[in-house]
Amino acid sequence: MNRNRTLPRLLAGALAAAAWWTALPAAAQQPAPVPPEIQSMAAAIAGELAARCPLAEANDVAAFEHCRSALYGDSKLRSHLQPVVLWGRQSTNANATLRQTNLTQFAPDTWTHLYAPLFMFNGRYQVEWVPHERQYVVRLEAAFRNRLAPGQFPYPFWHEEAKWSMYQNANGFLLWVHPHTGRIQAAQFTDRAANPPLHAVRPVQHKFEGKWLWTDGGGRVQPAVTLFDGLYRPENPYLPALDRQYRDLALQMRESQCTSCHVPNNPDKMSRLVLLSTPAHAAGEIDRLIKSVREDKMPMDEFRNSYALKPEDKKWLLESAEVFKSTVQSARAWEAEAAGRDRPVALKPARAMQRPEVSQ
């Protein structure tokens, strides 16, 4: 076989198939029934969430921490995520598509560590094809841990009353699955799922003080979950450097106008927001930050046009970002080595000694 000729034909065929799929009316693209691999994936994730993040009291910190550590590691949920996960609430407009809904972009580790564990699950789910989205959706029954301490949330969700209300009253969790890759590319929470609430909600009122990072009465920076708390071990030698280097990076981002846009209240109303407002968020987006600054794609002016930073500002921002990135990588490597040391070594059974043959 002449591979030089075959490869272009294969590529052309794949492109033609993709074009054909896009050109078809949505209703004609409906796979029926749901493929067994999608059903299997949904069942595995629903079962995992029910086992590792089961229903508990909304202020049960131990249950929350167990869920966090389970989902961040080698979980079914984590393994089926795309490299960028879109996350947010279901639009109040019942007819809004995902494309028309403002969502936040996250690295998979950030989302599985900070956001997904805030929910509890009972294992019940449904899978269906949504024609206008051209995707499958896995609908999971869920409840929200609204009574945790403020520092257990990745940022003050109560900065907006409507958002906090939907979080507190959430009864559903949606996972949007691409039909070709079988991977989750978006996730949403909703208070309008068909199932009744999984438990009675006792609303909590918090006051937003206007800060995404704050210091509590004990002098500790909050939210604690965004300082790699519970993600990295207290003895990780890189934690002090991560704190110091994020402060340096935050200063440079503030000087370069980054933090005027990449914050949870989304002042520019970006349809696909990227958060840089805490150490954990910045660590998850550091590669994209560096790439965007190098290519002069950020910051943006009031008309959403990107422009290049002044050479000196660009230099210091990139240097701070690269240093922070290097330490994040070192901290992760140290954690991987520590986990390897803690993992019990499986001893191989000794081979039975064979009796030497005796010549007759």
**Any idea which of 26-40, 210-224, 319-333 has the lowest mean pLDDT?**
26-40
Average the pLDDT over each of 118-127, 261-270, 337-346 and give the range with the smallest value: 337-346
CATH classification code of 29-197: 3.10.450
Contact indicator for 221, 242 with CB cutoff of 8 Å: no
Q: Exposure string (b/e) for 95-104, b if CB count within 10 Å is 16 or more?
A: eeebeebebb
The pLDDT value recorded for residue 308 is: 84
Per-residue pLDDT, averaged over 234-262, amounts to 90
Which residues share a beta bridge with 222?
A: 214
Work out the average pLDDT over 327-337. Answer: 95
List Cβ neighbours of 112 (8 Å cut-off, separation of 6 or more): 71, 72, 75, 77, 78, 81
pLDDT in tens, 266-318: 888 888 999 999 999 999 999 999 999 999 987 776 667 778 889 999 999 99
**CB distance 72 to 55 below 8 Å:** no
Q: How far apart are CA 238 and CA 244, in angstroms?
A: 10
Q: What is the pLDDT of residue 8?
A: 38
Residue 29: its pLDDT value, please? 58
Mean pLDDT of 107-124: 97
Residue 72 binned pLDDT confidence (cut-offs 50, 70, 90): confident
Across the chain, what does the average pLDDT equal?
86
Task: Determine the average pLDDT of the residues in 325-338.
Answer: 95
Note the maximum CA span of the chain: 97
Residues constituting the chain: 360
H helices within the chain, ranges in order? 3-23, 36-52, 61-72, 76-79, 108-114, 161-168, 239-255, 279-294, 311-342
Q: Please tell me what DSSP assigns to residue 199.
A: S
pLDDT at 31: 61
Query: Residue 16 has what pLDDT?
Result: 37
Reduced to 3 states, what is the DSSP secondary structure of residue 155? Answer: coil
- pLDDT, one tens digit per residue, over 173-206 is 999 999 999 999 999 999 999 999 999 999 999 9
Please check the confidence at residue 22 and state whether its pLDDT lies above 70. Answer: no
For residues 161 and 204, is the Cβ–Cβ distance under 8 A? no
Contacts of 345 (CB under 8 A, 6+ apart): none
Could you give the CA distance from residue 285 to residue 86 in angstroms, rounded to a whole number? 13
Higher pLDDT, 18 or 177: 177
Q: What is the pLDDT of residues 139-172, one digit of tens each?
A: 999 999 999 999 999 999 999 999 999 999 999 9
Contact present, 143 and 193 (Cβ < 8 Å): no
pLDDT (mean) for 235-261? 90
Query: Is the model's pLDDT at 4 over the cut of 50?
Result: no
95-109 per-position pLDDT tens digit: 899 999 999 999 999
Residues of the chain with CATH 3.10.450: 29-197
Cα-atom radius of gyration of the chain, to the nearest Å?
Answer: 24
Residue 195, token pair as written in the block: 């199932």
Residue 355: is its pLDDT beyond 70?
A: no
Q: What percent of the chain has pLDDT above 70?
A: 85
In this prediction, residue 81 carries a pLDDT of 97
Per-residue confidence (pLDDT) for residue 94, from 0 to 100: 84
Q: What is the pTM of this model?
A: 0.84
